[in-house]
Structure 1
Amino acid sequence: MLSRYLPIFVILAILSEILGTVGGFGSSVYFVPITNFFLDFQSVLGITALFHLSSNTTKIVFFRKGLDKKIVLALGIPAIIFVSVGAYFSKYINPEILTYILGFFLIGLSLLFLIFKQFKVKSNTKSAIIGGSLSGLSAGLLGTGGAIRGITMSAFKMNKDKFIATSAVIDLGVDFSRTVVYYFNGYIHQHDMYLVPILIVVSITGTWIGKKILNKISQEQFRKFVLFLILGIGTISVISNL
């Protein structure tokens, strides 16, 4: 089915990469539901992990000057540990139930930050570890955990480049870990491998366009955009399962 609609798929994938770059938490939150229209859920998990390896490598190259090593360790290590746990259990748990939980969670948190602008998550190691664990678990189970990581990282009030570079490095470790588990789960199929070079081009193109857009918006606009995107992702996650 995908080969028949490949041009449409590529356009949608580029849009997901642009939005993922501008939002700062990766393209999988858009790429997963898009790809789910064309492939079965397990294949979606496998190809998303491969796509994100390229996507995050590209972001690191484009935004490498903004890396925050302390947050990479505090948020990234638990994310890498828990993504393996989530990836392993992904074959045992109904993804629809998890999608509902994730959707309502994202709606609640994003509304909290948008309505109560003074509300803050403490920007400490404990918050980073909790956020990293939850985002890793979500990434392993559902193929996407960037929105939870975005909520956590927004508490640290990073500038745009630091936010994106730090998120990309964490995501790269997460993607490598879950790719290994997905491979042994049988989610990565030989007949889907023709998509890999296409998605490498998609990741470079989408990241480049996203960076151009980011250069034209302020830090406050960036923060609001991230929160509205997360609100939209949560809403779509709930509605899509109704």
Structure 2
Amino acid sequence: MPLDLPTLAIASTAAYLLALLSAVAGFGGGVLLLPVFTALFGLRAAVPMLTLTQLSSNTARVWLNRRELRWGLVGWFALGAVPLAVAGGLLLAHAPLDPLKRLLGAFLIGVVSWRRFRPHPRKPADPAFAAVGAASGFGSALVGSVGPLTAPFFLAYGLTRAAYIGTEAAAALSMHLAKIAAYGTGDLLTTTVLVYGLVLTPATLAGAWTGKRLLNRISDRLFVHLVEAGLLISGLLFLLGF
């Protein structure tokens, strides 16, 4: 299929900038990229296309932070995420998305408020991440990205910077692979989705690399503030229906 060059330029610029954001904050890129892709391609194409760009972005973040990964948490997360991501992916063609988005938005804003009142929450047990993965996998398959949903749990576990970025990316990677399989079964991986997913990969890889360079320059305290700011922005976008 012929590529529309202005559309490709807009999508590539957005993919680069938001992959950079994800590499610094651990999430947020997918949530902010979804409205861009929806405006360019329509919602049903935007969600699987976003998954393909997140696949390359997360793979890059896993590799760049590979020495700090917590594989035990990744395993527990995948245990819940994979089956629910498949179920959500199969439901995408018919699911009502707006109510779910607004529920997630209210949850994220509530999480930040809760963290302000309880700045030192109890560390969750490793098996609890199976439930986190299940909720994330199902929601992500339906609305494209719920990365902010996982952030409070990884932060409460005590992960910061490279350990947080790499572990969250590896956990998300298992979820995105399951979603792609489900989208393929549901005939959502059209030629347009596959072509744009491929040609946007260099932009997402470049953004992840740039973000990794920036991550090495910030403190743990600033990192947590950036994550919380991202949670608030993501929550507001969900509430507004983006």
Taking structure 2 as the reference length, the TM-score comes to: 0.92
Determine if the alignment matches structure 1 residue 84 to structure 2 residue 86: yes
Cα RMSD after superposing both structures: 1.8
1:183 maps to 184
Cα distance between partner residues in 2 of 1:100 and 1:166: 27
1:164 maps to 165
Indicate if the aligned counterparts of 1:84 and 1:178 stay in contact, CA closer than 8 A: yes
Within the candidate set 9, 22, 25, 2:27 is matched to 25
1:239 maps to 240
In structure 2, the CA distance between the partners of 1:138 and 1:121, relative to structure 1 (3 Å rule), is: farther
Cα distance between partner residues in 2 of 1:122 and 1:83: 26
1:197 maps to 198
Name the amino acid aligned to 2:209: W
Name the amino acid aligned to 1:198: V
Matches within 5 A, 1:5-154: 5-25=7-27, 27-113=29-115, 115-154=116-155
Deviates more, 1:21-30 or 1:43-52: 21-30
Count of paired positions = 240
Tell me how far 1:93 sits from its aligned partner: 1.8
Indicate if the aligned counterparts of 2:28 and 2:234 stay in contact, CA closer than 8 A: no
Name the amino acid aligned to 1:97: P
Cα distance between partner residues in 2 of 1:192 and 1:140: 15
Cα distance between partner residues in 2 of 1:77 and 1:27: 24
In structure 2, the CA distance between the partners of 1:96 and 1:66, relative to structure 1 (3 Å rule), is: same
Tell me how far 1:125 sits from its aligned partner: 2.7
Name the amino acid aligned to 1:72: V
Cα distance between partner residues in 1 of 2:134 and 2:214: 31
Indicate if the aligned counterparts of 2:87 and 2:182 stay in contact, CA closer than 8 A: no
Gaps of 5+ in 1: none
Tell me how far 1:2 sits from its aligned partner: 5.9
1:209 maps to 210
Cα distance between partner residues in 1 of 2:192 and 2:200: 15
Tell me how far 1:122 sits from its aligned partner: 3.4
Gaps of 5+ in 2: none
Cα distance between partner residues in 1 of 2:180 and 2:93: 14
